[in-house]
Amino acid sequence: MSHSSIHWFRKGLRLHDNPALIAALKDCRHIYPLFLLDPWYTSNTHIGINRWRFLIEALRDLDSSLKKLNSRLFVVSGPPTEVLPKLFEKWKITRLTFEVDTEPYSQSRDQEVMKLAKEYGVEVIPKISHTLYNIDRIIDENNGKTPLTYVRFQSVVKAIGPPKKPVPAPTEEDMKGVSTPFSEDHEDEFEIPSLEDLGLDTSSLGPDLFPGGEQEALRRLDEHMQRTGWVCKFEKPQTSPNALIPSTTVLSPYVRFGCLSARTFWWRLTDVYRGKQHSEPPVSLHGQLMWREFFYTTAVGIPNFNRMEGNTNCVQVDWENNPERLAAWREARTGFPFIDAIMTQLRQEGWIHHLARHAVACFLTRGDLWISWEEGQKVFEELLLDADWSLNAGNWQWLSASAFFRQYFRVYSPIAFGKKTDKQGDYIKKYLPVLKKFPAEYIYEPWKAPRSIQERAGCIVGKDYPRPIVEHEVVHKKNIQRMKAAYAKHSPQDKTPTRGVKRKATSIMDMLEKKAKR
Ligand code: FAD
């Protein structure tokens, strides 16, 4: 049979390692590459302007790659359950393919779409390619239980074997006999919208440091993989939160949107490692991709993963509702230059280093402000280019010592932590120019500078830059006691035991937390 196929791009905005797209092309006469602007996302999630730009750039890049195959991307606005049936009829569709997405909304959306497709006699082919493994299989292999530690998780995936090899991008050969029926006025109906078309306020757009798209992703991957010594020696805890040039790959936005396949990333690393001594998980780059896989697995296995309530793996904490303090954190007005510089970089550029995320997440929650990790999760969801439902929730639970990590008594100092890798405070001076004339001695604690120094620096604390909103030395000790009380009431892992776990080995996160000073 000659099929008319829709390949529905959601994440997976790429041609390489796209098994669902390859399945769409099999015995196919007409292929319609489709992207839906689903209003659910705009009304239920927070997407900052920098991420919108990344998405639009990724769609443009995809369209230009499709053009090279004599095809085009069709962009349509509307809920999938309304749009797809209309397109099934209009385009006489017999087959729908897409990449499996494990997020709760995507799961329920895809269930409904599959039901509808059946009614319209459309064959549906979902393929796994966003994650390294089939997440359900990982849970099955662990006797149907979600592995709750990285060590346990590693032993399960070790038994499964290495991830599948990525599939090559379709070639002109694969497209023989397949066409995309697009018209000359394709743009009129199916154009990729601009930020202005979407009615978005572009006044707060930051510099375009990480342009979206598969070509850019593969170029950046190539660039990193050529640094074989760096790749082989990569140890996450040795990288710096406040380096002026990122000390890790910044491939996360590309992996998040699927401009870069995690399997391609994985196998390229394997190629670099071959025959050489190299670092190992959890600290290596393979280890980082495993963290991603670990949090995807827990996000699938633990109900209400992005919330405290109803999440049995999460310590129930009496976080405070404090809108003023939350706004000060979000808007880089805490009076702690290291924290404010990180929050400024996040807002302007959409990416911050993993340890910088540690610092601000600990500060917001158990360290200083005693505000729920769910509030921090929302701010990251808006501002991160790589904002990812599973990874954001999992890491916020970790940092707030609500799940996975239990050493709540190890608190990052908003003063000492940054100094370790940036004594002069160059990072602070870059993102908080108001402090740029402060001597290094006071750059992390400007409120301690004598008045004469503040005057010489042209910045009076309390007027030109805020005073600290809390006294770290006092609040963090109080908060440790509050965490202790929360743990005494609720010890989550006792409620969700994992078979076969005898001890919790040191993980990368433990190592990172150990670096924290009180
Ligand atoms: P690299 O060190 O170069 O790692 C390579 C890849 O491994 C990354 O691109 C990413 O896909 C994956 N990875 C690395 N670290 C982690 C990790 N701890 N957990 C899961 N995957 C990881 N990452 C996101 O992609 N989206 C998020 O929404 C997100 N929210 C976070 C929230 C908090 C509070 C914290 C502490 C961390 C969060 N992370 C999130 C994880 C991590 O900080 C980023 O993945 C990483 O900093 C991205 O930079 P990179 O690409 O240079 O990482």
| DSSP single-letter state for residue 466 | P
**From the CB of residue 201, how many other CB atoms can be counted at a distance below 10 Å?**
9
Whether 392 lines ligand 1, by a CB cut-off of 6 Å, is: yes
Q: What is the pLDDT along the chain (518 residues), one digit of tens a residue?
A: 699 999 999 999 999 999 999 999 999 999 999 999 999 988 887 899 999 999 999 999 999 999 999 999 999 999 999 999 999 999 999 999 999 999 999 999 999 999 999 999 999 999 999 999 999 999 999 999 999 999 999 999 999 999 999 999 999 999 999 999 999 999 999 999 999 999 999 999 999 999 999 999 999 999 999 999 999 999 999 999 999 999 999 999 999 999 999 999 999 999 999 999 999 999 999 999 999 999 999 999 999 999 999 999 999 999 999 999 999 999 999 999 999 999 999 999 999 999 999 999 999 999 999 999 999 999 999 999 999 999 999 999 999 999 999 999 999 999 999 999 999 999 999 999 999 999 999 999 999 999 999 999 999 999 999 999 999 999 999 999 999 999 999 766 545 434 333 334 444 444 544 544 44
Q: What is the predicted pLDDT for the residue at 491?
A: 67
Sheet strand arrangement including 74-77: 74-77, 28-37, 3-9, 95-99, 123-127
Q: What is the predicted pLDDT for the residue at 508?
A: 45
**How remote is the CA of residue 225 from the centroid of ligand 1, in Å?**
18
CA distance 319 to 191: 46
DSSP string, 157-199: HHHH-SPPPPPPPP-TTTTTT-B----TTHHHHHPPPPTTTTT
Q: What is the predicted pLDDT for the residue at 497?
A: 35
Nearest partner of 10 among 120, 103, 117, judged by Cα: 103
Closest-CA residue, ligand 1 atom 47, reads: 354
Whether 139 lines ligand 1, by a CB cut-off of 6 Å, is: no
Which residue among 292, 380, 512 is best mutated to probe the pocket of ligand 1, counting the most ligand atoms within 8 A of its Cβ? 292
Buried b (16+ CB within 10 A) or exposed e, 362-380: bbbbbbbbbbbbbbbbbbb
Q: What is the predicted pLDDT for the residue at 322?
A: 98
Q: What is the predicted pLDDT for the residue at 499?
A: 31
| Backbone phi and psi for residue 75, each to the nearest 5 degrees, phi listed first | -105, 125
Nearest partner of 386 among 270, 266, 295, judged by Cα: 295
Q: What is the predicted pLDDT for the residue at 327?
A: 98
Whole-Å CA distances, 11 to 218, 258, 391: 16, 5, 15
Closest-CA residue, ligand 1 atom 17, reads: 291
What pTM does this model have? 0.95
**How remote is the CA of residue 354 from the centroid of ligand 1, in Å?**
6
Closest-CA residue, ligand 1 atom 30, reads: 392
Q: Are 433 and 425 spatial neighbours (Cβ–Cβ below 8 Å)?
A: no
**How remote is the CA of residue 253 from the centroid of ligand 1, in Å?**
9
C-alpha dihedral, 304 to 310 to 312 to 315, nearest 10° = 110
Whether 182 lines ligand 1, by a CB cut-off of 6 Å, is: no
